[in-house]
Structure 1
Amino acid sequence: MPGPEPASVSLRRRLAGPAAVFAAAAGAFGYVGAVDPNEPGHYPVCPLYLLTGLYCPGCGGLRSAHALVHGDVLTALRDNAAAVAAYLGCAVLWMVWTARAARGRPLRTGLGPARLWTGVVLLLAFTAVRNLPFGGWLRP
């Protein structure tokens, strides 16, 4: 088990990765907040929806991000509840990463195969239910 990094590694260098990811995420959310995905022509249509009429797990994700940037959590959940959960999960993971990097420790998620498969099954169930007649409340 590797220990903490040597003291010679500066805090700035240890936080470079989390800072770069934060900048990229902030830029992406800033762009989606400025360029409304509810207006046609700004973003491409989901290829699965275009070809089959079925909603993929990501359908409505840009609209939910746009709603979150503007502080409308209920609309964000309506547009894509799974995406909102993913945004929250990524934010928590980023905070843990940043705190561990500041201390010179590697990121450990503790996500074993059972938890990953549970996430996959939940995402597949979300996708299936939102495409069934009784799952209309999960559609964007």
Structure 2
Amino acid sequence: MQHVNADNRRPARPGAVLGRLAVPAGVLAAVVGAFAYVGAVDPNEPGHYPACPLLRYTGIYCPGCGGLRSAHAFVHGDFLAALQDNAMAVAGYVLFAVVWTVWVVRAVRGRPLRIDPGPVLLWSAGASLLVFTVVRNLPFGGWLHP
């Protein structure tokens, strides 16, 4: 398979393609390392990670509460437990995988990754996080508690 430069459609040098993949590979290595650590050091065991200050002092679950337990369950293939611990975190894992894959494909093709979410998308994401946070703290939202 020959890679092509975006500028003049000549085949790109293999070294150039590898150079364009260095940053996405570094980001993936960091994420895999973080997931490996959380997979090895169980957040369900006390004393390994600090407690959420919002939960500790107010009893309110923040949008990130249960995120480490979710990542731990995800690493171990327990996707239902990961969703139960923090559904928004699982959505974030999936979103990261999609964006990272698009980034790699564009890098191989010599095109930059441009993420330019419009105001509607940003407000929708913020509203979703807010609704998730409010619902998980209401009596009927107990199924969203970590």
TM interval, shorter chain, is: over 0.9
In the other structure, the counterpart of 1:25 is 31
Deviates more, 1:81-90 or 1:106-115: 106-115
Count of residues paired in the alignment: 138
What are the equivalent positions in structure 2 for 1:34-73 lying under 5 Å apart? 34-73=40-79
- Aligned with 2:133 (options 127, 134, 138): 127
User: Residue type matched to 1:123 in 2?
Assistant: L
* Distance across 2 between alignment mates of 1:137 and 1:58: 15
Indicate conservation of the 8 Å contact 1:5/1:105, yes or no: no
- Structure 1 residue runs of 5 or longer lacking an equivalent are none
Normalising by structure 2, what TM-score? 0.90
Separation in structure 2 between the aligned mates of residue 17 and residue 119 of structure 1, nearest angstrom: 26
Structure with larger Rg: 2
Q: Which of 108, 112, 121 matches 1:102?
A: 108
23-32 vs 3-12, greater mean Cα deviation: 3-12
Alignment counterpart, residue 118 of structure 2, candidates 101, 112, 117: 112
Q: How far apart in 2 are the matches of 1:21 and 1:103? A: 19
> Identity of counterpart residues, as a percentage?
65
Q: Distance in 2 between matches of 1:99 and 1:32?
A: 28
For residue 45 of structure 2, give the secondary structure of its aligned residue in structure 1. Answer: coil
Q: Distance in 1 between matches of 2:127 and 2:100?
A: 24
Q: CA deviation at 1:4?
A: 3.7
Q: TM-score, normalised by structure 1?
A: 0.93
- Which runs of no fewer than 5 residues in structure 2 stay unpaired? none
Shift >4 Å, 4+ stretches = 5-9
Counterpart CA distance in 2 for 1:90 and 1:5 is 28
RMSD: 1.6
